Amino acid sequence: MADYLRTLFLHPPSFEGFDGGAGARYQARREVRSFWYPTWLAQPAALVPGSRLVDAPPAGLGLADVVPLARDYDLAVLHTSTPSFPHDVRVAEALKAANPALRVGFVGAHVAVHREAALEASRAIDFVASNEFDFTIQEVAQGRDLAAVHGLSYRVNAHVVRTPERAVLEDMDRLPFVVDVYHRDLVVEQYFIGYLLHPYVSLYTGRGCRSRCTFCLWPQTVGGQRYRTRSVEHVVAEIARAQRHFPQVREYFFDDDTFTDDLPRAEAIARGLGRLGVTWSCNAKANVPYATLKVLKDHGLRLLLVGYESGSQAILNRIKKGIRLDVAREFTRNAKALGIKIHGTFIMGLPGETPETIQATIRFAQEIDPDTIQVSLAAPYPGTALHREAVEHGWLAEDGLVDGDGVQTSALSYPGLPRTEIFTSVDRFYRRFYFRPRKIFALTTEMVRDPAMGRRRLREGRDFLRFLRRRRHGQ
């Protein structure tokens, strides 16, 4: 076995409660305390023997906690994102000050898109990696000369140089199991997602998405617009391993961009999971046919996370969602008839939004009535077609994607639709969706049936109301 540098994989501390880019697609502090697993970092960590993964936000670690770690390592790999980049640079500088010999690298969509600018931001960053960085980091950790590692940018004197691009990973079974790293370095009880059972574990069974939604970050940067998948056997074996590591886990979540992009494979994985007897959930597009939904449900599927985005067909067409509202309606009816729960996600402020389309989307959500919803503000991340469109048309606000507390801001505005109106539409959407008798009844019934869930819903309900109050007062 090759010798490896002592390597620290760090999801840095930034805003309090910040759900960052090593796991979350759209990085922000959420309505209720939520954390995705830092799977993008766990994958290279699994390739580097003796490494350690530190996920600062869910562990409640601040700068003072992570800086002393610098002295124990030769290499630190930090996952960054557009909203957290300035914070992450400060963390890198503090690590470097504590150990000037430490080699510091940044990974993630933000630096893959802006490699030169990232390196120019601070001398504390020694290199940045391009999109798919697992084996890039493994080779750096083997102590290879940076010039010999594909998929890197680094500084030579005052100049930034790029090595040749790294080939896209096709044999996804080469990625080792992340659950071993989770078991070694993370505390599963620290990870919450409001609509998932607790504790949960999430991981990826593939990368990329066949759809071309203009706003969507990962397929346009780190994942690609094809669905590259691990074999069914590899996925089922990892869940079986996870069951041994985490007997307390109540739900597994497959966080592939669109797990249902390959229906026969989704059904085959479901059958394997059924044999293990686990409860599981996944991301899905609102076009999965009834027959597949039935197979998934019969083998342990509990919930689908579905990006409906808008109730306006014109907006869906404009953002290239590739979905028809009538198909989404039928899919939702079918899922409900089978007893599959749905967490529906919507976006306010996409191109083409007007006061009328906002109303139409709220009415659409009320009509299809997912069990729970999440309403986000359109976020033009660098590297996406939406960002390019926003720059071209002058829709971008000056002050970034999140505010000083890490909460999403309305970064876009349009002629006839100011950003303040887009911002307040989120609050209106939540109130008109949740403060309905049928919704209150459904949530109360769920709380009575499952007292543990009830306690959690009460806590989250308090967080949620605080969140709405805070938004209303513009704090």
> What is the phi/psi pair of residue 186, to 5°?
-115, 165
Contact 329, 368 (CB under 8 A): yes
Minimum separation from the CB atom of position 213 to ligand SF4 (A):
3
> Taking CB under 6 A as the criterion, which residues in 34-53 touch ligand SF4?
none
Minimum separation from the CB atom of position 273 to ligand SF4 (A):
21
Binding mask 93-132 toward ligand SF4 (x if CB under 6 A, else -) reads ----------------------------------------
Cα gap 363→460, rounded to integer Å:
25
258 binds ligand SF4 per the rule CB under 6 A: yes
Closest CB to ligand SF4 among residues 219, 383: 219
Minimum separation from the CB atom of position 218 to ligand SF4 (A):
7
> Taking CB under 6 A as the criterion, which residues in 171-230 touch ligand SF4?
209, 211, 213, 216, 219
Neighbours of 282 (CB within 10 A): 23
Closest CB to ligand SF4 among residues 287, 359: 287
Minimum separation from the CB atom of position 302 to ligand SF4 (A):
20
257 binds ligand SF4 per the rule CB under 6 A: yes
Considering only CA atoms, which of 215, 221, 141, 134 is closest in space to residue 178? 134
| DSSP states of 279-314 | -EEEEE-TT--HHHHHHHHHTTEEEEEEEEE-S-HH
Binding mask 391-410 toward ligand SF4 (x if CB under 6 A, else -) reads --------------------
Minimum separation from the CB atom of position 456 to ligand SF4 (A):
27
Minimum separation from the CB atom of position 320 to ligand SF4 (A):
8
* HSE-up (13 A, CA, CB side) for residue 216: 23
Please enumerate in sequence order all residues whose Cβ is within 8 A of that of 221, keeping only pairs 6 or more positions apart, or say none.
109, 112, 113, 131, 383, 384
Cα gap 400→322, rounded to integer Å:
28
Give me the sign of the Cα torsion angle 378, 420, 305, 12.
positive
Biggest alpha carbon–alpha carbon distance for the chain? 66
Binding mask 263-302 toward ligand SF4 (x if CB under 6 A, else -) reads ----------------------x-----------------
Q: Which of 307, 311, 349, 383 binds ligand SF4 (CB under 6 A)?
A: 307
Cα gap 255→58, rounded to integer Å:
18
19 binds ligand SF4 per the rule CB under 6 A: no
Closest CB to ligand SF4 among residues 104, 213: 213
Which tokens hold the place of 61?
């670690």
Minimum separation from the CB atom of position 20 to ligand SF4 (A):
19
Long-range interactions of 410-413: CB distance < 8 A, separation 24+: 410/349, 410/377, 410/378, 411/377, 411/378, 411/379, 411/380, 412/349, 412/377, 412/378, 412/380, 413/349
Minimum separation from the CB atom of position 285 to ligand SF4 (A):
5
Closest CB to ligand SF4 among residues 372, 384: 384
Closest CB to ligand SF4 among residues 181, 286: 286
> What is the phi/psi pair of residue 52, to 5°?
-140, 140
Q: How far is CA 1 from CA 43, 53, 103, in A?
A: 19, 21, 22
Minimum separation from the CB atom of position 228 to ligand SF4 (A):
14
* HSE-up (13 A, CA, CB side) for residue 440: 5
Minimum separation from the CB atom of position 383 to ligand SF4 (A):
13
Closest CB to ligand SF4 among residues 50, 322: 322
Considering only CA atoms, which of 129, 132, 131, 278 is closest in space to residue 202? 278
Contact 78, 54 (CB under 8 A): no
Closest CB to ligand SF4 among residues 212, 341: 212
Minimum separation from the CB atom of position 185 to ligand SF4 (A):
27
421 binds ligand SF4 per the rule CB under 6 A: no
**Residues at the site binding ligand SF4, with contacts judged by CB under 6 A:** 209, 211, 213, 216, 219, 257-258, 285, 307
